[in-house]
A and B are shown apart, each in its own frame.
Chain A
Amino acid sequence: MTNRLHPALIGFTILVYLFLMGPLVIVFGAALSDTTYLTFPPQGLTLHWFQNIFEISAFRRTIVTSLQIAFLATAIALVIGIPAAYALNRYRIQLPAWLSTLFVLPILVPEIVLGFSLLRSVAVDASVPIFLALLIGHTLLVLPYCVRVISASLASFDFSIEEAAVSLGSPPAKTFFTIVLPNVRSGVIAAFILAFITSINDVSVSLFLTGPGISTLPIQILAHVEQFFDPTIASVSVLLMLLTVAVMAIVERTLGLTFLAK
């Protein structure tokens, strides 16, 4: 291309990326510091703070809770979201238009408002146990992502393939699993990953739906920072970043990283 980028623009972009990457590098360095306070660059190196995470029972508990909630919420959202996405695409003509609008609606509700409303109506008024309320909150948090991402991949699915399979004698329910699902595989994987990450990182919904003995990791981090300013939080952050790396590696393996660009 003769249409070259202006050097000033390239310089600006390099600065932006330093801005994006720098803080994460700093967190990484701070996690390894052998001082008892947070600092960067680290004075000496130690892995003590990683060990410390698991010595604090609150961290141990919340890591488990966060993983449980993320897996369960994502699983439930997929189990109810995939059929919904399928129905919205397959029976578009037969279903009223407001039904698909319904799944866009959650975007208009700030997460913090959802969390608070669930606390009020579900946890307090309906006396639903807090773990269950938290699970409901996270399911609702990730459901719209699942429906939207899977709908997007179903939108490019040619349903006449499904009809071809049925005409060849495959029963409809079986056809869904043998023909439709494999063709929207990448959409399902993407939805799973997006939902899982969203749930693991969530603050605004969990904020209101944690109670005595039940909390999630991000909420625990917030609570810990208020009291201590030691490198433990940096090392927890590093763990979460490693989780992100792992997720990106899975994406790379299954879908190719260019998929993320979409």
Chain B
Amino acid sequence: MQVRNALKRFAGWGLSTPATLAVVLFLIVPVAITIASTFAEDGGVLAPYVAFFSSGFRRAVLWRTLEISLATTAISVVVGFLTAYVVSRSPGRIKSLLIIAAVFPLLTGVVVRSFAWLIILGRNGILNNFLVWIGVTDQPFAMLYTQWSVVVAMVYLFVPLMVLTLVGVLENIPDDVVQASASLGASPFATFRQVIFPLAVPGLIVGAVLVFTGSFTSYATPQLLGGERQMVMGTLMYQRAMVAFDWVGASTIATIMVAVTVAVVLIMTRTARRLNPMAT
């Protein structure tokens, strides 16, 4: 028995070693070096962070990134939840059609989807043309390179993800629980508020984490729709690394990103687990 267990452990290790090595060598070690490098500067352990936070421009970038991410998350959660609710309650054929229609944009790349908004929001874009045509304005609005153009494109990016995540969550709520609620006299709205919503909260949190971390660390969308004027953490990091060759500065931003991601994921998954009654 002991020999067999040892053999199994050996086999298990053997089979998982290549992938383990890959993750350790090419992910954990390089990222650890990036993080560690920010604490090994001459001016003191926290010098790069002092430099980051004493720069008004960089503080503004961090603040803007947080604003954009929070707005994107809030809008995506509300829009995604309501849509997912309708999708999950739709009859079979319509439901699969709606799911496919949400998967398609998700499988289409970030660049393509962000680029689409360039055509829509540009000075000669269709939205401005339309507004001029119906006479709302005779001068096209400068919609591109604003904070909200980034938010709109990011919401566009993340709503399908939110919808698909939440459809899965809502489908996991057993039919008979919903029926039990109705049989006890709860109106459809009461059932939604008292049964479906509370049961979907853990899933909402997971979705929100995905959207927040995704938008907080994004590059392509803010680059295309925000440009230099609406610099965010991602674009600033690229600029520090590849234009200014300021590797310490870029590493500092990278570390802040990792810290925020880890903190958000840990806090939210804890909360989700605590709120998830199905786990016990």
Q: Do any beta carbons of A and B sit within 8 angstroms of each other in the complex?
A: yes
The interface of chain A, by Cβ under 8 A from chain B, is 1-6, 9-10, 12-13, 16-17, 19-21, 23-24, 26-27, 30, 37-41, 79-81, 83-84, 86-88, 90-91, 94-95, 99, 102-103, 105-114, 116-122, 136-137, 139-140, 143, 147, 197, 200-201, 203-204, 207-208, 218, 221-222, 225, 229, 233-234, 237, 240-241, 244-245, 247-248, 257-258, 260-262
CB closest chain-A residue, reference B227: A226
Q: Across the interface, do A27 and B112 meet the contact criterion of CB distance under 8 Å? A: yes
Q: Is B140 interfacial (CB-CB < 8 Å)?
A: no
A-B contact count (CB 8 A): 265
Q: How far is the CA of A117 from the CA of B29 in the complex (A)?
A: 9
* B177 partner residues in chain A, CB cutoff 8 A: none
Selected from B116, B125, B217, B242, the residue in CB contact (under 8 A) with A111 is B217
B96-112 interface code vs A (CB 8 A; 1 in, 0 out):
10111111110111111
* B198 partner residues in chain A, CB cutoff 8 A: none
Q: How far is the CA of A110 from the CA of B178 in the complex (A)?
A: 38
Q: How far is the CA of A242 from the CA of B207 in the complex (A)?
A: 28
Cβ distance A1 to chain B, nearest Cβ, rounded Å = 8
A20-B156, A200-B109, A201-B108 known; 19 new pairs, CB 8 Å cut-off, are A3-B191, A12-B82, A13-B87, A26-B126, A83-B19, A84-B15, A88-B12, A95-B12, A108-B262, A110-B258, A116-B251, A203-B220, A204-B234, A218-B111, A218-B220, A237-B115, A260-B99, A261-B96, A261-B164
The interface of chain B, by Cβ under 8 A from chain A, is 5, 8-9, 11-16, 18-20, 22-24, 26-31, 33-34, 79, 82-83, 85-87, 89-90, 96, 98-105, 107-113, 115-120, 122, 124-126, 156, 159-160, 164, 167-168, 171, 178, 182, 188, 191, 213, 216-220, 223-224, 234, 237-238, 241-242, 247, 250-251, 254, 257-258, 261-262, 265
Q: Across the interface, do A244 and B104 meet the contact criterion of CB distance under 8 Å? A: yes
Top 5 nearest A-B pairs (CB, nearest first) are A91-B12, A201-B109, A23-B116, A110-B217, A84-B19
Q: How far is the CA of A245 from the CA of B107 in the complex (A)?
A: 9
Q: Across the interface, do A208 and B96 meet the contact criterion of CB distance under 8 Å? A: no
Q: Across the interface, do A20 and B101 meet the contact criterion of CB distance under 8 Å? A: yes
CB closest chain-B residue, reference A4: B188
Beyond A16-B83, A16-B159, whether A112 also contacts B234 by CB under 8 A is: yes
* B257 partner residues in chain A, CB cutoff 8 A: 110, 112-113
Beyond A13-B86, A143-B22, whether A24 also contacts B105 by CB under 8 A is: yes
Q: How far is the CA of A241 from the CA of B107 in the complex (A)?
A: 8
Cβ distance A240 to chain B, nearest Cβ, rounded Å = 5
- Enumerate 6 A-B pairs (CB-CB under 8 Å) in ascending A order: A17-B98, A23-B120, A117-B31, A117-B34, A244-B107, A258-B99
* B111 partner residues in chain A, CB cutoff 8 A: 201, 203, 218, 221-222, 237
Q: Across the interface, do B119 and A27 meet the contact criterion of CB distance under 8 Å? A: yes
Selected from A140, A207, A225, the residue in CB contact (under 8 A) with B23 is A140
Cβ distance A207 to chain B, nearest Cβ, rounded Å = 6
Selected from A120, A225, A241, A262, the residue in CB contact (under 8 A) with B247 is A120
Q: Across the interface, do A106 and B23 meet the contact criterion of CB distance under 8 Å? A: yes
Q: Across the interface, do B247 and A122 meet the contact criterion of CB distance under 8 Å? A: no
* A1 partner residues in chain B, CB cutoff 8 A: 89
* A103 partner residues in chain B, CB cutoff 8 A: 19, 23
Name which of A17, A110, A143, A258 has the most chain B CB atoms within 10 A of its CB. Answer: A110
Q: How far is the CA of A91 from the CA of B17 in the complex (A)?
A: 13
Q: How far is the CA of A16 from the CA of B254 in the complex (A)?
A: 34
* B33 partner residues in chain A, CB cutoff 8 A: 117, 120-121
Q: Across the interface, do A116 and B237 meet the contact criterion of CB distance under 8 Å? A: yes
Q: How far is the CA of A17 from the CA of B12 in the complex (A)?
A: 46
Q: How far is the CA of A107 from the CA of B209 in the complex (A)?
A: 11
* B86 partner residues in chain A, CB cutoff 8 A: 5, 9-10, 12-13
Q: How far is the CA of A234 from the CA of B112 in the complex (A)?
A: 8
* B19 partner residues in chain A, CB cutoff 8 A: 80-81, 83-84, 103, 143, 147
CB closest chain-A residue, reference B182: A3
Name which of B216, B224, B254 has the most chain A CB atoms within 10 A of its CB. Answer: B254
Q: Across the interface, do B30 and A120 meet the contact criterion of CB distance under 8 Å? A: yes
Q: Across the interface, do A106 and B261 meet the contact criterion of CB distance under 8 Å? A: no
Q: How far is the CA of A196 from the CA of B120 in the complex (A)?
A: 29
Q: Across the interface, do A83 and B85 meet the contact criterion of CB distance under 8 Å? A: no
* A91 partner residues in chain B, CB cutoff 8 A: 8-9, 11-12
* B11 partner residues in chain A, CB cutoff 8 A: 87, 91
Q: Across the interface, do A27 and B116 meet the contact criterion of CB distance under 8 Å? A: yes
Q: Across the interface, do A204 and B5 meet the contact criterion of CB distance under 8 Å? A: no
Q: Across the interface, do A136 and B26 meet the contact criterion of CB distance under 8 Å? A: yes
Beyond A80-B22, A201-B111, A257-B96, whether A112 also contacts B217 by CB under 8 A is: yes
Selected from B107, B115, B218, the residue in CB contact (under 8 A) with A221 is B115
Beyond A110-B217, A120-B30, A225-B224, whether A201 also contacts B5 by CB under 8 A is: no
* B122 partner residues in chain A, CB cutoff 8 A: 38, 229
